[in-house]
Chains A and B, each alone.
Chain A
Amino acid sequence: MFSTFLPSIYRILVCLMVLTGLAVQAADTEGDAIETTSEFLPLSLEELMDQDVTSLARKEQTVKETPSAAFVITSEDIRRSGATNLPDILRMVPGMDVGKINAWNAGVSARGFNDLYANKLQVMVDGRTIYDPLTSGVSWGQQNPFLKDIQRIEVIRGPSGTLWGANAVNGTINIITRSAADTQGGLVSAGAGNKEQSGGVRYGSKLADNTYLRGSTNAVYRDANVDATGKSTNDFGNAETVNFRLDSQLNSQDKLMLEGDFSNYKQNGYFVGVSSATPPLWTPNDFGKTGINSSLQGYWTHQTETGHDWKLNMAFTYTDWRQIVDQMSRTSYVLDFQDSLPVIGRHNLLWGANFQTTSDQFQNSLTLAFKPDNFTQNNSGIFVQDQIDLSKDLKLTLANRVEHFTYTGWETEPNIRLLWKANKIHSLWGAISRSVVVPNRAQHSINLFTPVPGMQTPFLLAIANPQMKTENLLAFELGWRWQAAKNIDVDTALFYNIYDRMQGTVITSTSYSPIYGEILYAQVGNYRQVKSYGVELALNHRINHRWRLQTSYSAIGFDTSYNNSLIWLRDPLAEKNYDPQQLMSIRSQFDVSNDVEFDVWGRYVDQIHKDRVNIPSYFGLDVRLGWHPLKNLELSLSGQNLLYNQHPEFSDILYYTVASQIQRSYFCQISWQF
């Protein structure tokens, strides 16, 4: 059959896919007109002003019409959260677990498997991936964009590998920055508090008709946190970023975007490594990481006379960091093409191709080495998606991506999705998908020699596994959206995931060295099978135009099978212990008066047991008071983690041997537009 043969995809221009959640189908009947309008009514005036009047219908879908667990964080949500960094903002997403390891670094994951190197999320900025191919995780501490430049953050939980490629296994995050046309004029923002000082400047101007340019720069300094005994963990540091963006609508058919980003950071902290072959071997505070990230990316969209929509996207990134135990520099080049075809009968076809090449170069040390010390990886793939309108209320999506990776060869990531809009109040969706986590550079080539954390001896030698295969996920999802009342909507998702060939690290053997004492040899491999199941619930309640409540709750369970007779490096029941079984969040945005905002955010995070450390459950409480004394002036005072002087959120056994405690903090901010 034609349609089953065509593996379809569902790749979005992501942005496109969930675009603010608001684009809607052509209103060809009165009922649709009202429905379309009703979707805009819950938006705040700020959000409304961000909406484009026209947009490309075929590539956009409202969250309500997306057959997957989608969630959008708006710029208004970011502003009113009081949060000053990306991980804190992501706590808004139902089911998203965020654990701060120190002032800069965090584990961020959805649907389990959280870790400093959580490797199952695809994270992008304007479509450019920012996860680190060394670990397949995101170094969140190295991502410090000017938050006022973010228009929205779109999150899809669950697999979207067909759309976004390998590693979009448990979810995809796309951070979308404001267009240059939306950021005209100037903005100055500065803030200071007991833990952080930060600020930024932005200026945008019109270069020609339909061509806009803006530049922005921001800097942040964070103070050190403390350990359980109140002693500093030395995780202070600073980061500076410069960014420009050019948007040009060349004509009614062609659009160009060019964006450049350069950031520089210096972060300190403890790291236990071997810095010399003779005693004292290492010192506990010899870790500091300095580095730069830079990127240049652009896209060109074109509508052909025959009704095709093309998008050509390319990105060049350069990353360089150094720390006492090693240094790395890496370049990556991505080319991505997509073509959305005119509608053929009931079929809405989209296809695309991508190519990526990444080359790195390490300077190795005794503690941390990657062999070979330079390596190039290529991956290329194609995808096809067919969205079939079975009836007015029933949409079937068939999609597949076939991709080739240097380490593992060919992989395929198909999915099938069905959306049924039962009526105006209820809609149901279901999906079955396959996704893969590709082995990363570290798993294939690491040589890590370090004392076992918390002890002077024995030492640990973690060695690479060139036989490492992909981790595979087969995912089953069900979703239900319910417009409970005009001002209340409920979004629920259920999932059952089967992960095959999951990574695990076993102690393979031991030896004795006169200098180091006992040495344990560890190696990662595809040793385990894990099943996870859970529920995510989001409730949006607009009580009146002054008051809005957003609530989310999630619960997750795991069933892990592995060989009990092996000696595991980390807790073998990792998933069950590493991820909170329940998460809850309640955000209240309240306008006390026209000029005063009072916002409260409460969270509950269940206990975890990580790296032999018990981290008790905790309640997070953040409060923000905002005041607009003048039209273009905003003052705010916010407090975070108000319930505790300090408390632990997370742990990491290999890198940050002493996890910081997260302290109560205050932050006062002023921002002025001109």
Chain B
Amino acid sequence: MLLLVPSGQAATLNREYPLKVAYLFHLAELTEWPAPANIKICLLGDSPIREYLPALAGQAVNGGAVQISINQGMEGAECNIIFLANNAGLTPELSARAINQHILLVSDMEGFAALGGMVEIALRDNKLKLVISLEVVKKAGLKLSSKLLRMAEILE
């Protein structure tokens, strides 16, 4: 099989979503939940990340195996991390639920952290950076490792 490179067009390879999944892996490892459990990562909404997330299924995090839920809804799913496909998903209900049930809210939408989300995976100069709203994270009873915070931009 040949490389599927359209001729006459720059052969740019997009590694954005594989990288975002790797960030989620580190977030799972570097977040402390009040009650330790097997980590479940849920996707809310439709995002290209859906195709890549299954790579995390079964990965070992803090002694347990990661579970993935990529069905658009998450009713009944006990998620520890929710990846929101868009900012519209960040409803007051979801925020309240996240705070009560200690769920880490992550998204790659611009302004997500400033809008009341917790961790935003932002694109800056062709690299991915983390923007964290630490106050909201703390409200949810979650603790992010200082190793993670060292690498992130913290919103006050």
Q: Do A and B come together as binding partners?
A: yes
Residues of A within 8 A of B (CB): 22-28, 30, 33-41, 43, 45-46, 48-58, 60, 181-182, 252-253, 303, 305-307, 309, 342-343, 345-346, 348, 389, 391-392, 486-487, 544-545, 591, 594-595, 628, 631-632
Query: Is B22 in the interface zone, CB < 8 Å from A?
Result: yes
Chain B residues closer than 8 Å to A26, beta-carbon distance: 3-5, 13
**Chain B residue with minimal CB distance to A545?**
B29
CA distance A391 to B150 in the complex (A): 45
Partner of B18, one of A36, A55, A632: A36
CA distance A51 to B18 in the complex (A): 11
**Chain B residue with minimal CB distance to A59?**
B11
Task: Write the nearest CB–CB distance from A423 to chain B, whole angstroms.
Answer: 15
Chain A residues closer than 8 Å to B150, beta-carbon distance: 628, 631-632
CA distance A389 to B9 in the complex (A): 20
CA distance A45 to B60 in the complex (A): 16
**Chain B residue with minimal CB distance to A210?**
B125
Task: Write the nearest CB–CB distance from B26 to chain A, whole angstroms.
Answer: 5
Determine whether the beta carbon of B13 is less than 8 Å from that of A60: yes
The stretch of B48-56, B72-80, B93-101 in contact with A is: B48-56
Determine whether the beta carbon of A594 is less than 8 Å from that of B3: no
Chain B residues closer than 8 Å to A54, beta-carbon distance: 12-16, 126
Given the contacts A594-B146, A628-B150, A53 and B54 also touching, CB distance less than 8 Å: no
CA distance A56 to B9 in the complex (A): 11
Given the contacts A23-B13, A55-B13, A342 and B151 also touching, CB distance less than 8 Å: no
Determine whether the beta carbon of B12 is less than 8 Å from that of A40: no
* Secondary structure class of chain B's binding surface, majority of residues: mixed
Determine whether the beta carbon of B22 is less than 8 Å from that of A37: yes
Residues of B within 8 A of A (CB): 1-5, 7-19, 21-23, 25-26, 29-30, 51-52, 54-56, 58-62, 123, 125-129, 145-151
Given the contacts A33-B52, A345-B2, A48 and B9 also touching, CB distance less than 8 Å: no
Interface centre among A46, A342, A545, A591 (most CB of B within 10 A): A545
Determine whether the beta carbon of A45 is less than 8 Å from that of B151: yes
Determine whether the beta carbon of A46 is less than 8 Å from that of B15: no
Determine whether the beta carbon of A631 is less than 8 Å from that of B12: no
Partner of B55, one of A38, A342, A343, A591: A38
CA distance A591 to B148 in the complex (A): 13
**Chain B residue with minimal CB distance to A184?**
B125
Task: Write the nearest CB–CB distance from B58 to chain A, whole angstroms.
Answer: 8
CA distance A37 to B56 in the complex (A): 9
Task: Write the nearest CB–CB distance from A170 to chain B, whole angstroms.
Answer: 31
CA distance A639 to B146 in the complex (A): 26
Partner of A305, one of B8, B14, B22: B8
Chain A residues closer than 8 Å to B23, beta-carbon distance: 48
Determine whether the beta carbon of A594 is less than 8 Å from that of B55: no
Partner of B149, one of A25, A306, A631: A631
**Chain A residue with minimal CB distance to B129?**
A49
Task: Write the nearest CB–CB distance from A58 to chain B, whole angstroms.
Answer: 5
User: Can you pick out 11 interface pairs between chain A and chain B where the beta carbons lie within 8 Å of each other?
Assistant: A40-B18, A49-B151, A53-B123, A55-B12, A58-B11, A309-B11, A342-B5, A343-B2, A392-B1, A591-B147, A595-B147
Determine whether the beta carbon of B3 is less than 8 Å from that of A41: no
Interface centre among B13, B19, B60, B148 (most CB of A within 10 A): B13
Chain A residues closer than 8 Å to B18, beta-carbon distance: 24, 27, 33, 36-37, 39-40
Determine whether the beta carbon of B7 is less than 8 Å from that of A56: no
Chain B residues closer than 8 Å to A30, beta-carbon distance: 51, 54
Task: Write the nearest CB–CB distance from A44 to chain B, whole angstroms.
Answer: 8
Task: Write the nearest CB–CB distance from B31 to chain A, whole angstroms.
Answer: 11
Task: Write the nearest CB–CB distance from A390 to chain B, whole angstroms.
Answer: 10
Chain A residues closer than 8 Å to B26, beta-carbon distance: 45, 48, 545
CA distance A55 to B66 in the complex (A): 30
Chain B residues closer than 8 Å to A56, beta-carbon distance: 10-13
Task: Write the nearest CB–CB distance from A41 to chain B, whole angstroms.
Answer: 6
- Known pairs A49-B127, A306-B7 / 6 extra A-B pairs, C-beta < 8 Å: A27-B18, A33-B17, A49-B129, A51-B15, A346-B2, A591-B147
CA distance A36 to B29 in the complex (A): 20
